[in-house]
Amino acid sequence: MIKYVLFTIVLSISLPFLRHLMSSAHAYQLELQVAQLAVKRASVLTKALSDHIATTRQSGTQIKDDKSPVTVGDYAAQAIVNHAIKKNFPNDEIVGEEDSEDLKADASLSKQVFELIQKYQQSDKFSDVLGSLDSEEEVFKSIDYGDSQGGAQGRFWALDPIDGTKGFLRGDQYAVCLALIENGKVVLGVIGAPNLPAHIISNTESSGAIGGLYSAVKGYGSYVTDLFSADAPPALDKQRKIEMKSTTDPKKLVVCEGVEKGHSSHSEQAQIKDILGIPQDSTINLDSQVKYCVLAKGEADIYLRLPISDTYREKIWDHAAGNILITEAGGRVGDITGTPLDFSKGRFLQSQGVIAANSAIYDKVIEAVQQVKK
C-alpha cells in the first residue's frame, strides 16, 4: 500500500514534467536556436540601416533611387546567417539570394559591409553560437555558401537576407527569412520582422510593440517572441503560440496583398474579393513575408499573390519560411490551383502564384481564383 501511494505521488509529480518536456522538446532544437539567433542579429543590423534611411528622409534630404543601404544590408545579413549555419552544420547547403562577385569588385562597399558586420557581432552576446567574421575574405566566402541549387534530396537552408527591398528603403515592412528544408519539405522557418507592429488592424491603424521574431517547427506549431530583447529567444513553449482564425463571414474576412503592383495582379485579386463578397477596403497591403506573419497570428485570413505573367516563377526563399508559419498555425498554402507549394524543384517554385488562407475558407478562395483565371 505504501509503495502504491509513493508511486502515485511520484507519477503525479512526473507527469506534468514529462508533458512539459514533450511540449518543448523537438528534433530541431539546435537548428532553431541557430536560426533564431542568426535572424535576430541580421534583423538588428538591417533595422539600423532602414531607420537611417527613414531619418534621412524626415530631415528633408532627397534620396532618389539609392539602393546602397539595401545592398549593404543584403550582403551583411547573408554573410552573418550563412556563417552561423556553416559553423554549426558544416554539411548543410544554403540557397541564398546573393553572391560576392560584385562586392569583391568594390573595395569601398566591401569595407563598409565588413565594418558593419564587426559592429553588430560585438553588440550582442551570441558569438559563441553564431561565430564571428574576422576578415573581408571570410565575408566573401560566407556569402558564397548560398550557391546551392536545392532539390528533392538532402538538407538545405533557404535564405532571403532582406525580403521586401522597397519596404526596407521606405523604412516600412521587410523581413529576414530563413527556412530549413529536408528532402523537399520545409521543416523549420524563422522570420525576423523588424518594423511589424504587434497588432495590425488596417493600412492606417496598428498598435503594440514594433518588431517580432516568428518561428515554426513542423509538428510543433507557430510562435512569436520579442525580436529586440538583449537575451536569446526563450524555448518555444515560453513564446506566444499563434494560430489562424476560422472566419468564413465575408464581411469579417481580411485580405493581405503586396504593396507593389508589379509583384502580383491587383486587378484580378479585386475580382476574387468581389466573388467572395469581401469588401474591397478589407485589405491590408504589406511588403515581404510579414504578410504570412499577420495571417498566422489571426489578424488576416487570406493572402493573394496572383502571377503577373504565365511564365513568372516564385523563388523558394520568398515563401519557404512563411509557408511553414501558416501551415503550423492551422492554415493552408498553395498555388492558384490549390496544390501545395513544392520546394523540391530547385531554386524556383515550378508553379503559378501563391494563395494562403485559413482552412475554413481556403477551398472557396481557390474556387474564386479559378473563376477569375479561366
| 61 annotated active-site | no
Distance CA 269, CA 26 (A): 39
Three cell numbers written together for 271: 475580382
Could you count the other beta carbons within 10 Å of the beta carbon of residue 301? 28
C-alpha cell at 348: 524556383
- E strand residue ranges, 32-123: 93-96
Helix 266-276 / helix 362-373 crossing angle, nearest 10 deg: 120
Of 198, 218, 216, the C-alpha closest to 206 is: 198
How far apart are the C-alpha atoms of 173 and 285, rounded to whole Å?
A: 10
d(CA 242, CA 299): 10
User: 162 among the known binding-site residues?
Assistant: yes
d(CA 322, CA 6): 48
Task: Establish whether 97 is an annotated binding residue.
Answer: yes
Say if residue 310 carries a ligand binding annotation. no
What string of DSSP letters covers 122-167?
Answer: HHSS-HHHH----SHHHHHHHHGGGB----SSSEEEEEEEEE-HHH
Cα–Cα distance for residue pair 243/294, rounded to 1 Å: 10
Given the residues 56, 99, 147, 165, select the one marked as catalytic: 165
Q: Please, which residues have CB within 8 angstroms of residue 219's CB and are 6 or more apart in sequence?
A: 26, 328
Residue with cell 574576422: 134
> Is 74 considered catalytic here?
yes
Residue 160 marked ligand-binding? yes
Per 3-state DSSP, the chain is made up of helix, strand and coil in percentages (nearest 5) of 45, 20, 35
Candidates 71, 74, 172, 225; catalytic one: 74
Give the Cα separation of 223 and 232 in Å (integer). 15
Helix-helix angle 136-143:107-123, to 10 degrees: 90
Task: Report the catalytic residues.
Answer: 74, 165
Residues tagged in the binding site annotation for Mg(2+): 97, 160, 162-163, 318
Residues tagged in the binding site annotation: 97, 160, 162-163, 318
